[in-house]
Structure 1
Amino acid sequence: MDATALATANFELLKKNPYPGRGLVIGRSSVDDAWLMIYWIMGRSASSRNRKFVVAGNTLRTEPVDTRQMDNPELLIYDAMLELPNIYLVSNGDQTRTIYDGLLAGGSFASALEKREREPDAPHYTPRISGMLDLQAYPGTVTLSILKANQANPANTDRYTYHTAKSPRGFGVGLTTYRGDGNPLPSFNGDPLLLPCAGKAEAVLDSYWNALNADNRVSLAVKQISAQDGSSRILVRNRFAQ
Structure 2
Amino acid sequence: MELLPQALTGNSYPGRGVLWCRTVDGSALGAYFLTGRSAASQARTLHLTSDGELIVAPSQPGEHDHLRHYVAARQVGAQVVFGNGEQVSTVADRLVSGQAPLLALDGLDYEPDPPIFTPRLTVIAEGEGSGRAWFGAARHSVGDRAATNRLTLHVSDLAPGEGVLMTTYRTNEDGIATGAPFTEVTSTARNRTDLLDELWSALPPGLRIAAAVFAPGELSGADLRQKTR
Q: What TM-score results when the alignment is normalised by the length of structure 2?
A: 0.89
User: Residue type of the partner of 1:194?
Assistant: V
Matches within 5 A, 1:62-141: 62-68=56-62, 73-135=65-127, 139-141=130-132
Task: Give distance in 1, aligned partners of 2:46 and 2:83.
Answer: 13
Task: Give distance in 1, aligned partners of 2:168 and 2:190.
Answer: 25
CA positional deviation for 1:99: 0.5
**1:56 and 2:49 equivalent?**
yes
**What are the Cα deviations for residues 120-160 of structure 1, in whole angstroms up to 9, with x where unaligned?**
00011000011111237x73421111111012235221000
Identity of aligned residues (%): 27
Contact 2:102 2:134 in 1 (8 A): no
**1:20 and 2:22 equivalent?**
no
- Is the partner of 1:118 in helix, strand or coil? coil
User: Residue type of the partner of 2:61?
Assistant: T
**1:37 and 2:23 equivalent?**
no
Aligned to 1:206: 197
- Is the partner of 2:193 in helix, strand or coil? helix
Contact 1:20 1:181 in 2 (8 A): no
Aligned length: 227
Contact 1:123 1:184 in 2 (8 A): no
Task: Give distance in 2, aligned partners of 1:217 and 1:154.
Answer: 32
Contact 1:19 1:181 in 2 (8 A): no
CA positional deviation for 1:167: 0.9
Q: What TM-score results when the alignment is normalised by the length of structure 1?
A: 0.85
Contact 2:110 2:138 in 1 (8 A): yes
Task: Give distance in 2, aligned partners of 1:46 and 1:146.
Answer: 26
CA positional deviation for 1:183: 7.7
Aligned to 1:192: 183
**1:235 and 2:226 equivalent?**
no
User: Residue type of the partner of 2:5?
Assistant: F
Question: RMSD in angstroms over aligned alpha carbons?
Answer: 2.2
Aligned to 1:3: none
Q: Deviating runs (4+, > 6 A) in structure 1?
A: 181-184
